[in-house]
Amino acid sequence: MRRISIFGATGSIGQSSYDLIARAGGAEAFETVALTGGRNVALLAQMARQLRAKVAVTAHEDCLGDLREALAGSGVEAAAGQAAITDAARRPADWVMSAIVGNAGLAPSFAALGSGAILALANKESLVSAGKLLLARAGAAGATILPVDSEHSAIFQALHGEDRSALERVIITASGGALRDWPLEKLATATVAEASKHPNWAMGQRITIDSASMFNKAMEVIEAHEFFALTPDQIEVVIHPQSIVHALVGFNDGAVMAHLGAPDMRHAIGYALNWPARKTLPVARLDLAALGGLTFSAPDLARFPALRLCREVMATGGAAGAIFTAAKETALDAFIAGQIGFMDMAGVVESTLSRLTSEIAITDVPSALEQVLQIDHLTRVRTAELAAQMAQRR
Ligand code: NAD
Ligand code: MG
């Protein structure tokens, strides 16, 4: 039986992964090695019982008692803490979903590659912060990484069977998020609640706010740069409010291959689960006539400065991606906490990048995961300082 694990099983991507695995036969069809989650131990335990997982891990030590209780008599082992999550990722598996949100997903992504598994990578932070290291690790271990971000899965599928040397460019679509049509002055006043309502996709709160600020798209541009080894000028972003075209690939003969589908992450997850085969998936079928029209427009860099910042990050290379991710996460925390405003997030990230440029050898590619994590830590300290200064000025 195929051995699977899901890291971040209780999240939006994790629950969709669970849903597909349950529909494909659950414990009768898969041997579940590990499932991990956060404070929602009831859901984690329920999933672990259903799939008869070997181990269920909560990120929080103080939740271990509750998890043990919820798993009593099930035969599923319980564990807690970041180290326990990484240990679980070292357990041999054939297919591993990396769907923890943020840089907390880095260590499990790296650990999972060690056993040569297929790594279904939803955690884009792994590629943005440590892309070169991650791909090198996968190569050395003979592991396969399949992108699960919808845009990257779309590019991956559009490139299937094509000669890579004929590839000219990729175009990543962006819905524009919750605040797409807001004027610049109004964006500065956007609240957490307003930024947390995505027009098309049902996702975790952090990525939903990142969609409204376009930090998510900025991360995805860098993710495509790393994963597909594209130069920055080969990657374009276009606003497409309907979220039906997920990405397009342009070739040297002028042909453009587009990937279309309903905005449902179970497509990208299911593609990675069944790869290299395609199997029937429970996603809505497109009715183009009912849709009527698909529209596209250029993004406004003044309203969405994250899209400009990602270009600077790619031009700098080295540790800039790790700094960008950690600074963005810390700025997002400060926005959610009501410390800084919506537009301040980009300002704080930009200031952090210039501060770190004078503090570390930013253009050097980190040589090991430990170094990425050190840079991550230093960045969080600096971003928090800058966010506190900005809060005082408000
Ligand atoms: P989510 O917030 O819904 O779920 C996150 C999961 O990670 C939960 O299981 C949570 O318990 C766990 N987690 C959170 N913090 C943790 C920590 N410090 N240590 C260990 N576990 C922790 O997030 P999501 O929307 O499912 O996104 C997961 C990842 O997938 C992110 O990297 C996101 O960018 C990416 N992604 C998500 C979508 C989507 O549609 N939701 C689409 C593309 C990519
Ligand atoms: Mg995406």
What are 205-219's pLDDT values in tens digits?
Answer: 999 999 999 999 999
> Which CATH number fits the domain 2-147, given the four candidates 3.40.50.1980, 3.50.50.60, 3.40.50.11400, 3.40.50.720?
3.40.50.720
Report which ligand 1 atom has the smallest distance to the Cα of 39: 11
Using CA atoms, how far apart are residues 61 and 13, in angstroms rounded to an integer? Answer: 23
Write the pLDDT tens digit of every residue in 327-376. 999 999 999 999 999 999 999 999 999 999 999 999 999 999 999 999 99
Strand partners, 118: 95, 144
Report which ligand 1 atom has the smallest distance to the Cα of 123: 32
Using CA atoms, how far apart are residues 109 and 307, in angstroms rounded to an integer? Answer: 26
Ligand nearest to the CA of 13: 1
Write the pLDDT tens digit of every residue in 133-157. 999 999 999 999 999 999 999 999 9
Give the model's pLDDT for residue 102. 94
Give the model's pLDDT for residue 199. 84
Q: Is the pLDDT of residue 57 over 90?
A: yes
Quick count: other Cβ atoms within 10 Å of Cβ 272? Answer: 24
Residue listed under structure tokens 């995961």 = 369
- CA–centroid distance, 263 to ligand 1, in Å, is 17
Q: What percentage of the chain exceeds 90 in pLDDT?
A: 97
- Residue 331 Cβ < 6 Å to ligand 1: no
Using CA atoms, how far apart are residues 203 and 212, in angstroms rounded to an integer? Answer: 12
Q: Is residue 307 within 8 Å of 237, Cβ to Cβ?
A: yes
- Residue 37 Cβ < 6 Å to ligand 1: yes
Q: Is the pLDDT of residue 284 over 90?
A: yes
Assign residue 118 a region (left: φ > 0; alpha: ψ between -120 and 50; beta: otherwise): beta
User: What is the architecture, at CATH level 2, of domain 317-393?
Assistant: Orthogonal Bundle (1.10)
- Residue 128 Cβ < 6 Å to ligand 1: no
* Helix (H), strand (E), coil (C) string for the chain: CEEEEEECCCCHHHHHHHHHHHHCCHHHCEEEEEEEECCCHHHHHHHHHHHCCCEEEECCHHHHHHHHHHHCCCCCEEEECHHHHHHHHHCCCCEEEECCCCHHHHHHHHHHHCCCCEEEECCHHHHHHHHHHHHHHHHHHCCEEEECCHHHHHHHHHHCCCCHHHEEEEEEEECCCCCCCCCHHHHCCCCHHHHCCCCCCCCCHHHHHHHHHCHHHHHHHHHHHHHCCCCHHHEEEEECCCCCEEEEEEECCCCEEEEECCCCCHHHHHHHHHCCCCCCCCCCCCCHHHHCCCCCECCCCCCCCHHHHHHHHHHHCCCHHHHHHHHHHHHHHHHHCCCCCCCHHHHHHHHHHHHHHHHCCCCCCCCCHHHHHHHHHHHHHHHHHHHHHHHHHC
Whose Cα sits closest to atom 23 in ligand 1?
204
Using CA atoms, how far apart are residues 331 and 335, in angstroms rounded to an integer? Answer: 6
For residue 10, name the pLDDT band (cuts at 50, 70, 90).
very high
- CA–centroid distance, 203 to ligand 1, in Å, is 9
- Residue 8 Cβ < 6 Å to ligand 1: yes
Q: Is residue 246 within 8 Å of 259, Cβ to Cβ?
A: yes
- Residue 120 Cβ < 6 Å to ligand 1: no
- Residue 137 Cβ < 6 Å to ligand 1: no
Q: What is the mean pLDDT of the chain?
A: 97
Domain boundaries, the chain: 2-147, 152-262+284-291, 317-393
Q: Is the pLDDT of residue 394 over 90?
A: no
Give the model's pLDDT for residue 202. 86
Which strands sit side by side in the sheet containing 2-7, from one edge to the other?
77-80, 55-58, 30-37, 2-7, 95-98, 118-121, 144-147
Task: Indicate the burial class of 308 (C-beta count within 10 angstroms; 0-12, 13-18, 19 or more).
Answer: middle
- Residue 226 Cβ < 6 Å to ligand 1: no
- CA–centroid distance, 45 to ligand 2, in Å, is 28
Give the model's pLDDT for residue 193. 96
Report which ligand 1 atom has the smallest distance to the Cα of 10: 9
For residue 240, name the pLDDT band (cuts at 50, 70, 90).
very high
- Residue 127 Cβ < 6 Å to ligand 1: no
